[in-house]
Each structure stands twice: as C-alpha cells, then as structure tokens.
C-alpha cells in the first residue's frame, strides 16, 4: 500500500505518547498565553491591526506575484528602508517568512566549495539552509567561538559562520562579538538569526547584533522574523547593500516565492513605528522573563536563566513534558512544550515566552499553575 510506512511511524509516535495535534485557537480564548511569540503584545494592538487593514485595502489581499515581477509594492520598499535603518544596516530584503529568509541567506552565501560552520543549537530553518546550500557544513559546539575559529582556520576558500543570536529552545544568547572576531580573523562572513532578539534586545529593541556592536559591519548579515515581536508575519535579511543585491539575484526563496502579503507588511511597519515611539516595550519583555525565571527558581523548578524573552523549564521526560503542558492548559495556562524530535539534545522542557504586557498578577498565576502541575 502506498505510504504504508507512515502508519508504522504513527504507531511508534502513539506508543511514545508524542503525537502532535492541532488545536484551533478561539479569538476570545480565556487561556493565559505564555506560549506565543508575541513578545511585545503587539499582534492585536489597534495600530498594528489597522496597519494590516489599511495595507490590504490599498494593495489587496495578496501581493499578486513574485517580488521581481509584481510582488514589490511601495509598502515593501518602505518596510525594508525602515527595518534596515532601525536595526543599523545599510539595506534589508523582506521575505514571506523568517524561514524563507534563513534559507535565502545561508544558501546564497555558501557557494560550492565553501564552508558553513553552524552552531549545534541552531534553529531548524538555519539547519535546512545548510542542507540546501552547495557548501559543506561543519557543526560547531554550542556557543563556542573557539570551535568556530578552529573550523574556519582549517578551511581554504569562502566561509561563513551561522548562528542564532538567541537560541529558540533554551533562550540563551550567542557570544556575538567573539563570533564576529573569529570570523574576521579568517575573512569569513557571519550570518546571525535574530528572530528572538529583534524587539527585545538592544537599544529600544534594535536587536542582539546592535547590542553587540556588530550591526552594519560589512561582513555581518542578519535575518529576522516579523512574526514574533512585531506581531505580524514574514521575515527579512539585513546587511550590506551588495549582499542584499546578491540575494535579489541569487536567493531562490526570494526569486521563486510570492512577495509578502501587503497586510503583513503593513502590520510589521505599524509595529516597528510603535516600537520606535515606545522603546520601553523591549526592556519590559526582558524584565518579565527575568521575573518569571526568579519566581520559577524560587518555586524549586529548574529554569534556564533567560538572556531575552524565552524561559525554558526542564521536564523529567518527553512524556511527562507533554502531560505537564496539557495539565497547565487544563488549569488555564498555555505554555509551549519542546521535546524530541524537535530538540537536538533530547532534553524535554516547557518553553515559556515572556510578554511585555503581562501583569504581575498574571506572572504570579503562571508560576503557581506550573508549580502545582509539575510532574
Ligand atoms: N528562526 C528562529 C530562531 C525561529 O524561532 C523561527 C520561528 N520559529 C524562525 C527562524 C522562522 O521564522 P518564521 O516563523 O517567520 O518563518
């Protein structure tokens, strides 16, 4: 029978208690949300939703074509200009997702004969970029600039190091300045995924590369998503103009993909302008994360010290992590649950995301529910 093998896989998943299911979210859900990536609480901000609505009314429900044909509107150009300016880069290129932006940056900057040095904790989209690229990938120990330096030193030819700025599983930060130095010593490029840094780290949320003083350097390229702190959807690559021009001409996920929907571009632009006007939102997300960590630790839970807005809480096993998240949900709290095969190290955890708009009472309630439901 066609696809017979998938039934065996399904059976194994069922036996391990690791079946994934989709749960459509109601618009007026009573759940307290510590699972979404809406770090600044902007996804439903009236200025952001109005930005989306206005863009859709002006430009339509879709962008109508690929970016090089009809899919580039004045709105896309405006978003690219403002995003680059805000984060401290010469230029930016918007994609239909952060995933597509990562595939583009890695594949277009790692030609045949090149070396890609990829952090062991990188996000799946960077890993997939490495798999698709013509260059050869070497996985380096997690957050270890010396491992990157050693790998680069052993290679002759074009090279690029690739790393998340804030790792999505444990929320720890990469040593960006040291990574940039290691790359510079060997004439290599550095590609950083700032999906969890933009809007949270750096002056007013300008991102982790800005905070580390590497934004705008001619050998640093940064990818971001518009779907987390900016409360919209889509992604972007930021970097020197010559790199962006190269992507326009060479990145397949740019050339062969329909341009970002106007509503998403309009929402992201409105969120970016709001963040410029209210820079305190960024610092607040970090404060909430640190408060969550302090309270969880005081309650005897094993939580990783957050460097941005992601707080990771260790669970004893994959099955118990899944049950723990379900018990939280039954008690009115929505949390993320990371377990194999989504985590490369095999360690299961609850993943909490701090939001700038969480109140003290909500933080307290979240910690109480997590403590009371612990396995
Ligand atoms: N990079 C990282 C580190 C992420 O966490 C994510 C989203 N889960 C992405 C890239 C992909 O971004 P998008 O959701 O916009 O495709």
- 39, 99, 223: residue to mutate for ligand 1 pocket, most atoms within 8 A of CB: 99
How far apart are the CA of 122 and the centre of ligand 1, in A?
11
- Please give the helix or strand (H or E) that residue 236 lies within, else none: strand 235-239
Q: How far is the CA of 195 from the centre of ligand 1 (A)?
A: 6
Look at residue 177 in the predicted model and tell me its pLDDT: 98
Strands 310-314 and 115-119 turn out to be unpaired
What's the 98 CA to ligand 1 centre distance in angstroms? Answer: 5
Mean pLDDT of 321-337: 96
H-type helices in 257-317, by residue range?
Answer: 262-277, 280-298
Ligand 1 pocket test target in 125, 253, 267, 310 with most atoms within 8 Å of CB: 125
d(Cα 105, Cα 125) in Å, to the nearest integer? Answer: 11
Determine the average pLDDT of the residues in 270-297: 97
- Evaluate if residue 344 carries a pLDDT over 80: no
* Residue 345 pLDDT > 90: no
How far apart are alpha carbons 335 and 312 in whole angstroms?
A: 10
pLDDT at 31: 96
Contact 244, 237 (CB under 8 A): yes
In 10 A of CB 224, how many CB atoms?
Answer: 33
Cβ pair 102, 127 in contact under 8 A: no
Q: What is the pLDDT of residue 232?
A: 98
pLDDT tens per residue across span 220-239 = 999 999 999 999 999 999 99
Instruction: Find residue 115's DSSP bridge partners.
Output: 136, 159
Q: In this structure, are residues 52 and 264 in contact, taking their beta carbons and an 8 Å threshold?
A: yes
pLDDT at 1 over 90: no
Domains of the chain are 19-39+279-373 (3.90.1150.10), 46-277 (3.40.640.10)
Residue 270 structure tokens: 């409105």
What is the ipTM metric for this complex? 0.99
| pLDDT at 105 > cutoff 90 | yes
pLDDT digits (tens, 9 = 90+) for 35-62: 999 999 999 999 999 999 999 999 999 9
Q: What would the two tokens of residue 196 be?
A: 């969890």
The model's confidence at residue 145, banded by pLDDT at 50, 70 and 90, is very high
Over the chain, what is the mean pLDDT? 96
In b/e form, how buried is each residue of 93-102, taking b as 16+ CB within 10 angstroms? bbbbbbbbbb
321/312 Cα distance (integer angstroms): 12
Mean pLDDT for 77-83 is 98
> Using an 8 Å Cβ cutoff, are 222 and 194 in contact?
yes
CB 175 within 8 A of CB 132: no
Q: What is the pTM of this model?
A: 0.97
What is the reported pLDDT for 342?
Answer: 79
pLDDT at position 340, please?
A: 86
pLDDT at 322: 92
Percent share of the chain, pLDDT over 90 = 94
> What distance in angstroms lies between residue 314's CA and the mean position of ligand 1's atoms?
22
CA atoms within a 13 Å half-sphere pointing along the CA-CB vector of 106 = 31
Tell me the pLDDT band of 18, cut-offs 50, 70 and 90: confident
Q: How far is the CA of 96 from the centre of ligand 1 (A)?
A: 12
Q: Which atom belonging to ligand 1 lies closest to the Cα atom of 164?
A: 3
Pairwise CA distance, residues 25 & 49, whole Å: 18
- CA Rg, the chain, in Å? 21
pLDDT at residue 19, rounded to an integer: 87
pLDDT score, position 22: 93
Residue-wise pLDDT for 247-267, tens only, equals 999 999 999 999 999 999 999
């Amino acid at each position: 029978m066609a696809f017979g093998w998938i039934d065996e896989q399904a059976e194994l998943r069922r036996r391990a208690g690791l079946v994934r299911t989709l749960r459509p979210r109601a618009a007026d859900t009573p759940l307290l949300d510590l699972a979404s990536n809406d770090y600044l609480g902007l996804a439903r901000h009236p200025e952001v939703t109005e930005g989306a609505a206005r863009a859709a009314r002006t430009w339509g429900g879709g962008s109508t074509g690929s970016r090089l044909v009809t899919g580039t509107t004045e709105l896309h150009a405006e978003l690219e200009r403002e995003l680059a300016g805000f984060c401290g880069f010469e230029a930016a290129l918007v994609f239909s997702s952060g995933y597509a932006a990562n595939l583009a940056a890695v594949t277009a900057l790692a030609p045949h004969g090149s070396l890609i040095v990829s952090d062991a904790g990188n996000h799946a989209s960077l890993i997939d970029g490495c798999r698709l690229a013509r260059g050869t990938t070497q996985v380096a120990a997690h957050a270890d600039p010396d491992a990157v330096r050693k790998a680069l030193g052993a290679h002759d030819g074009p090279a690029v190091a690739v790393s998340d700025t804030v790792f999505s599983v444990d929320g720890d930060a990469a040593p960006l300045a040291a990574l940039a130095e290691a790359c510079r010593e060997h004439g290599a490029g550095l590609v950083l995924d700032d999906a969890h840094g933009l809007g949270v780290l750096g002056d007013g949320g300008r991102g982790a590369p800005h905070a580390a003083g590497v934004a705008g350097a001619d050998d640093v390229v940064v990818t971001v998503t518009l779907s987390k702190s900016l409360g919209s959807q889509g992604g972007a690559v930021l970097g020197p103009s010559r790199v962006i021009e190269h992507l326009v001409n060479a990145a397949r996920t740019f050339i062969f993909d329909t341009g970002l929907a106007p509503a998403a571009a309009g929402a992201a632009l409105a969120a970016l302008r709001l963040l410029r006007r209210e820079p305190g939102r960024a610092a607040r997300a970090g404060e909430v994360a640190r408060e969550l960590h302090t309270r969880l630790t005081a309650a005897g839970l094993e939580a990783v010290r957050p460097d941005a807005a992601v707080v990771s809480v260790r669970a004893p096993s994959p099955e118990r992590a899944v049950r723990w998240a379900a018990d939280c949900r039954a008690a009115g709290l929505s949390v993320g649950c990371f377990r194999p095969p989504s985590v490369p190290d095999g360690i299961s955890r609850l993943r909490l995301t701090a939001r700038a708009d969480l109140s003290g009472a909500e933080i307290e309630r979240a910690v109480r529910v997590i403590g009371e439901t612990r396995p």
